[in-house]
Structure 1
Amino acid sequence: MGDPGSDLQAVFQVFQAGDVPGMSSEELAGRISVTLARSVQRLTPPALSTGSPDVDSACLCLTLIGKMIAGLASDSLQQDAKALYEDALRKLFGPAELMSELRRLLTCRDRLLSHLTAKCVSSFVIYDVCRCGDVDPVWAAACAEAFQAPAPGCTLDTCLWSLTEVIKGVLRGDCANKREILRKLLVGFEADLTSLYSKMLLQDKLEPWQTAESLTDLSVTVSTFMDLLEALSASRLRYGVCSSVQRLMFLHTSALLSLTDSSLEYFVKKRMLLLMKRTVVQRPGEDWALGERHAALQGDEFLTGDMRALADAVLQAVGNGWLRRVWVKPQPSFFGGNRERFPDDEGKDAVMLRAVSLILIRSLQVRTQHAHTEGAEHVVDVQQYLQELLAFLQERVAPFKGETHNCSWILTVFSEQDDDIMESAKTLTTLYLYQRGLSSSALQACSWGCNPHCHFILLLRSLSFDHTVLLDFLISAETCFLEYCVLYLKLLRDNWQDFCDSCCRIEDTERTSESSRRVTSIHPQPLASEASLEATPRTSSQAQTAQESRTSQRDSAACSRPRLVDYGSSEESEEEEKGSVLNLQTVGGTEELEADSESRREGVDLVERAGAGSADSLVGKVRSCLTELKAVLTKLHSRGLFPYNPTSLLKLLMAVEAKAGL
């Protein structure tokens, strides 16, 4: 036998060509084992330089092992190649005790070699646990030892990454009994991860960790731990696997939120907020291509209570001024870097703003869902919290400072992310219905940015009232637009006049704002009386001309989309929507939205015009858009071309059309 390293170079070239090495499985395993053992011996203790022959040999071995595992996992190999690789892996991780050698490389100070080792090890653990259901004991012991580390470091980061990758691999993989495998996988790490959570996140125990050589090292470790928490949350919310370590972030949410006050770097705080956002909207792991959510979550008896605990912690933090302590960069991040300067209308880190907004409004929704069962002392003041959110946005978002309508915040914050804007619109509609059910007088929903009519109008206008975009949303499985659409159409059906009032208010507000801007540009320093006089609303025909000019300049929003509900028959869908609509029939049609007294002296004329639904008014454009949507839905359904039964949706659209005709 020649030099094993040279032989492996030839084997690697055969792999690259997609051919099968011309050797037995025993010979292949022997060459890999000898080469790797020799490299490990020379690299331990690690006084190495990247690019040394031993590092290169070790990387070559790890790459070959990874290629064999990937080939077996993909089921793309011919039968002879599959048998060869399976037998070679059995010999490597059996008699050759390769995992023990790899465990030594996991602690290597060379981060590239350490990470490549973790990738190889994780691939084998995923393959092995999905094939036989057992967790490799050597790998598990190495991770458990690393989790007991007294301070952050490369080994801890590597093992955190490896466990996260294994959980993600099981979630993605095609293996039977995923719930059992995940449960078995996590049970051995509960004590160590619980201790690690305490050391890393609880403020009274974080101080010793802050003596790390570099704050960046600690920030990297905490961020990697956030990835693991998201994987734990995904396994819980997708497969109902619930262990004590998976409940930590729900029961100790305040520890996560307190990271905004820590000295950790900005990207860690951003990662924490993304974790919280994905958890409260129940979409953890949405970037990991995990496939469909598992249907059976009955096994998690603690989930409802834990979600309430998380929501309570968020609302308590907001009540204690948490929003005022959340720092948001005045510019977006680009692949880890930032541009030095931004135009005034781009000054926002939208990822952070979306995360903070959704965390708060979804926590409010969770809390209000249970408020009616807990008595009057547990009533939630939605208006107070949303006013806090508006103050937060007005202080930190440059484009929002020029807006004249508070309800426009939803587009300012969410316009770049379709799944989030639909989620927020649906959530805010339920919050409006909850608050409306508590109020005995007309709601002033626009003052706290929670008028669902305004949200719907502004959304359609941002799409240029294009019904084909709405059709795309309804067909796509990437947003909750169907759920939102049904919820809002029921509100619109029972509160048509409120919708007309909202249209008039938006037109009136924008007409006044446009007039003020024109006065400012013509007379830079007018007297106070002159300014107020010249800002008086113009006639209806002038207002409509200006509105049309502005509306025609708006671009259609580019849209991506989360999950499509099974809409079934109309009777079934009515039952499904009962909880989310919050008993709409008891509150619909009995109260009016607030009227802006000073700017509504022409309101009666405007409402009459809106009620008539002239084609160039907002009412007319919305009505036309919904009518066109109903027509195309009817045509597709009659031909059997729509992907689900839209009968109930069509009934709602017809009911709205009937109201609009009045």
Structure 2
Amino acid sequence: MEGNMSCKDEDLSVMTGLFNCLTEAYRCFLAGSYPPQNAADVASVIYSGFCGPVHGKGREGSPSEYCGENSAELTCMCMSFLERVSSNLTSQGLHPDVRFYYAEVLKVLLEDMDLITHLVKRFQAEDHIISHLAAKTASNCVFYLVCKSGLISPAWQRKCEQAFQNPWPGAELDACLWSLTEVSKKLLKGAHRELMTLLVGFDLTLSVLCSKLLPEEKKHMSQHSVDFTRSSHWGTSLCLLLDLLEVLTSSSLVCGAGVRLKSQRVTHLHSLALLNICCSSEYYVKKRVLLLLKRAILQKAGEDWISGDVASGRTCGNWSSDMSILARTVLKAASDNWLLSIQMQSGAFFGGTRDILGDQMQNWDCMMLRAVSLIILKSIELCIQTAAGSEVKTATEVHAYLQSLWGFLRQYRFKQRAVTHLCCWISMLFGEQDDDMMEAAKALLYTFLHYRLTSGMDEFAVLETACASGFNPHCHFVLLLQSMSFDYSILLDFLISAETCFLEYFVQYLKCLRDDWQGFAAACGRITMSDCCLSQQKKLGADRSTLKCKGEPDKVESGSCVIPPAGRLGMASELRLVEYDTSDESDSENTVESVCALNGKPYKSTALLSPRPEGLLQPVLQSEETSRANMASLSWQLTGEISVRALHCLSQLREVVTRLHTKKLFPYNPSSLLKLLAQVESCYQKSHLSQCSKS
């Protein structure tokens, strides 16, 4: 009994001494200095706190026998200190003398004491804090060794390979996945050449891991001895695998010329398995999968980590084929009613999520809806661009894909809204995300051009079909201009910014506008007509039910789904993408008149901001024929104003870009863009003169 008490007292005394030494060393490190002990002594203290005394009797084996109840705290302190030291040494943020001292500490620990071997043993600890701290510390130490010597720790690599070859969802697999992801991400951020060396070493085992965790079909799952999806820990392990897949996919963008590794192609090659996961897994896993597929198909995987040239990876021999595989797989799944199997939940907010009761309007997860929409739209675009559109052979296929997407969105986002013009769905869904909205608009523009080329229909029929399916690019552009109050400075911001694909979209659309001005004019009328139709229908219904007094003003109210977030001409300044004081202070009458003056014809404003004509104050029970006549007259006037304001916005944009380019303040050569803008102005003037001559 006394012997046991003596042993415990001895252990407690040793632990107290180790704790005091570590505390002193940690405080010195945080203060930017080093303790009075030499580096070898500090390394011995860290090792003893983690693994037990170096020369203790009967202590060779297990830290659990040595440390007792308080071992976890001492172990966590040792790992936290070591993780902090290795991280600061890598970042070069220490004074040279201090850096030299702690570099000696790490040298003793990693080379003489082989501490990484002991760290990776803690990956399978039941205590999740210890397991994660061990993975974090080991990752920093491995990265430090790579930066210092270009070598990868054999003990760490061996541990990860063993976990990947015989995977089972749990602490060990999670720690290995997280650690490899972290090391790869650090190498990717710094554009280290050792990244490819690391990935080559793991290429085979990662392929084995993905084939087991991501089977192409559910029947393949039964071929394994264990169904991973039945494990309660499977969702966590899968999310960590998805994080690793994003790093691997992004690493292929900076691989340079040559053939990509199989592990870098997993997201594309196993896209069917990823799509299947979206149909059956937990919602947070489903969301993570869709976001990965979205970034992959937008070629933006890991864009926050990559410091090199992201375009270089697209020259790899199998990059185009992999993107084609991904796009074809998505469209094949869409044709097999994959969209119908995706279940949405309400959007998250600061309080979490909540159930909808009674007749409350459901606020669906717009992030998921945007991801699904972009995956479908970009897949159509990629298949159109692949082999001159051979992947999407007919216009009927394009129409079917868009109809299936619209059917999916109608279940959720637009279920409780009366959508009269489907082209407004982009503004409704993507209005909060400029980058996603531009990607969607660009994809639909290419879809429209392909449809026009392959449908065999005349221009009018093509435009009607495009509006019926929501992919008329003229409508999208008009709605975009309306959402920004026809403010050219916002277009200028988009042109200068590298955060969106607006430049590519804008150039392609201007070419389309130059060749199809009549389609643009028709879109202006179509948007105005749908607005007026909905307003008149609402008013007639209200008149019949409430019997308003004769002479009460007729308010043209915008439907919630007809006009994008920033609304109508008269309400556009209320909600804006970006606040510009000059836009609100500008005179809408002068804006329109300045363009009409170019045509030598006076202009009378019919803007919604101006007083309504007396003729539009309708009797309570007027005939529908009279209402339609007045509506058509108003629509014709508003159509002219919308096109004039749009042209004036583009004209102002051309002038300011020209001035900036002349002063060498524009970030790139805009000559082609300026030429297109001038051609669009010329098309407008010719169209206006033609209308004047007919009248």
TM-score > 0.5, shorter chain as reference: yes
Q: 1:624: Cα distance to partner?
A: 2.1
Gap change, CA 1:475 and 1:600, over 3 Å in 2: farther
Greater C-alpha radius of gyration? 2
Counterpart for residue 624 of structure 2: none
Matches within 5 A, 1:457-536: 457-524=478-545
Aligned residue type for 1:338: T
Contact 1:408 1:449 in 2 (8 A): yes
CA distance in 1 between counterparts of 2:202 and 2:210 reads 12
Counterpart for residue 36 of structure 2: 22
CA distance in 1 between counterparts of 2:638 and 2:569 reads 18
SS in 1 for 2:449: helix
Counterpart for residue 213 of structure 2: 200
Residue correspondences, number: 597
Aligned residue type for 2:94: L
Matches within 5 A, 1:93-132: 93-132=110-149
Paired residue for 2:661, among 618, 637, 652? Answer: 637
Counterpart for residue 392 of structure 1: 408
CA distance in 2 between counterparts of 1:610 and 1:550 reads 12
Paired residue for 1:133, among 129, 136, 150? Answer: 150
Moved more, 6-15 or 206-215: 206-215
CA distance in 2 between counterparts of 1:490 and 1:123 reads 52
SS in 2 for 1:23: coil
Counterpart for residue 273 of structure 2: 255
Q: 1:606: Cα distance to partner?
A: 7.6
Q: 1:217: Cα distance to partner?
A: 1.3
Counterpart for residue 621 of structure 1: 645
Contact 1:500 1:610 in 2 (8 A): no
Q: 1:363: Cα distance to partner?
A: 0.9
CA distance in 2 between counterparts of 1:503 and 1:406 reads 14
Aligned residue type for 1:556: R
Counterpart for residue 578 of structure 1: none
Counterpart for residue 200 of structure 2: 187
Q: 1:210: Cα distance to partner?
A: 7.4
TM-score by length of 1: 0.83
Contact 1:346 1:399 in 2 (8 A): no
Gap change, CA 1:456 and 1:299, over 3 Å in 2: closer
Aligned residue type for 1:191: L
1:239 aligns with 2:255: yes
Counterpart for residue 576 of structure 2: 556
CA distance in 2 between counterparts of 1:600 and 1:428 reads 32
Q: 1:610: Cα distance to partner?
A: 6.5
Q: Which consecutive unaligned segments of at least 5 residues does structure 1 have?
A: 527-534, 560-598
1:61 aligns with 2:75: no
Q: 1:401: Cα distance to partner?
A: 2.9
1:338 aligns with 2:353: yes
Gap change, CA 1:149 and 1:550, over 3 Å in 2: farther
Counterpart for residue 376 of structure 2: 360
SS in 2 for 1:401: coil
Contact 1:234 1:284 in 2 (8 A): yes
1:350 aligns with 2:366: yes
Q: Deviations over 1:177-207 (max 9, x none)?
A: x2xx222212232332222212222123435
Q: Using CA pairs below 8 Å that are at least 6 residues apart, which structure has the higher relative contact order?
A: 1
1:75 aligns with 2:92: yes
Aligned residue type for 2:293: M
1:430 aligns with 2:446: yes
Q: Deviations over 1:474-526 (max 9, x none)?
A: 11111111111111111112211110100100000011111222233444599
CA distance in 1 between counterparts of 2:661 and 2:487 reads 20
Aligned residue type for 2:172: T
Q: 1:310: Cα distance to partner?
A: 1.2
Gap change, CA 1:387 and 1:30, over 3 Å in 2: same
SS in 2 for 1:94: helix
CA distance in 1 between counterparts of 2:290 and 2:169 reads 22
CA distance in 2 between counterparts of 1:299 and 1:437 reads 29
Contact 1:475 1:643 in 2 (8 A): yes
Contact 1:371 1:380 in 2 (8 A): no
Q: Deviations over 1:22-77 (max 9, x none)?
A: 3322222122112111299799587999x953112111111211222222222222
Q: 1:213: Cα distance to partner?
A: 10
CA distance in 1 between counterparts of 2:277 and 2:674 reads 48
Identity of aligned pairs, percent? Answer: 37
Counterpart for residue 585 of structure 2: none
Contact 2:64 2:71 in 1 (8 A): no
SS in 1 for 2:417: helix
Contact 1:223 1:268 in 2 (8 A): yes
CA distance in 2 between counterparts of 1:87 and 1:130 reads 15
Aligned residue type for 2:476: H
CA distance in 1 between counterparts of 2:310 and 2:45 reads 43
CA distance in 1 between counterparts of 2:538 and 2:631 reads 22
Q: 1:336: Cα distance to partner?
A: 8.9
Q: 1:377: Cα distance to partner?
A: 5.7
SS in 2 for 1:22: coil
Moved more, 391-400 or 462-471: 391-400
Q: Deviations over 1:329-364 (max 9, x none)?
A: 1x2123692144599676221111111111111111
Gap change, CA 1:247 and 1:34, over 3 Å in 2: same
Gap change, CA 1:42 and 1:356, over 3 Å in 2: farther
Q: Deviations over 1:280-329 (max 9, x none)?
A: 1100013x443343443366211111111111111111111111111111
1:283 aligns with 2:315: no
CA distance in 2 between counterparts of 1:493 and 1:333 reads 43
TM-score by length of 2: 0.79
Counterpart for residue 103 of structure 2: 86
Q: 1:395: Cα distance to partner?
A: 1.3
Contact 2:32 2:98 in 1 (8 A): no
Q: Deviations over 1:395-414 (max 9, x none)?
A: 11147732211011111221
Counterpart for residue 678 of structure 2: 654
1:419 aligns with 2:432: no
Gap change, CA 1:197 and 1:213, over 3 Å in 2: closer
CA distance in 1 between counterparts of 2:202 and 2:238 reads 18
Contact 1:630 1:653 in 2 (8 A): yes
Moved more, 398-407 or 151-160: 398-407
CA distance in 2 between counterparts of 1:548 and 1:247 reads 46
SS in 1 for 2:667: coil
Contact 1:253 1:313 in 2 (8 A): yes
Aligned residue type for 1:8: L
Contact 1:345 1:398 in 2 (8 A): no
Aligned residue type for 1:25: A
CA distance in 2 between counterparts of 1:420 and 1:79 reads 46
CA distance in 2 between counterparts of 1:373 and 1:193 reads 34
Aligned residue type for 1:435: Y
CA distance in 2 between counterparts of 1:276 and 1:548 reads 35
SS in 1 for 2:151: coil
CA distance in 2 between counterparts of 1:402 and 1:210 reads 49
1:451 aligns with 2:468: no
Gap change, CA 1:371 and 1:555, over 3 Å in 2: same
Aligned residue type for 1:204: K
CA distance in 2 between counterparts of 1:118 and 1:364 reads 41
SS in 2 for 1:556: coil
1:4 aligns with 2:18: yes
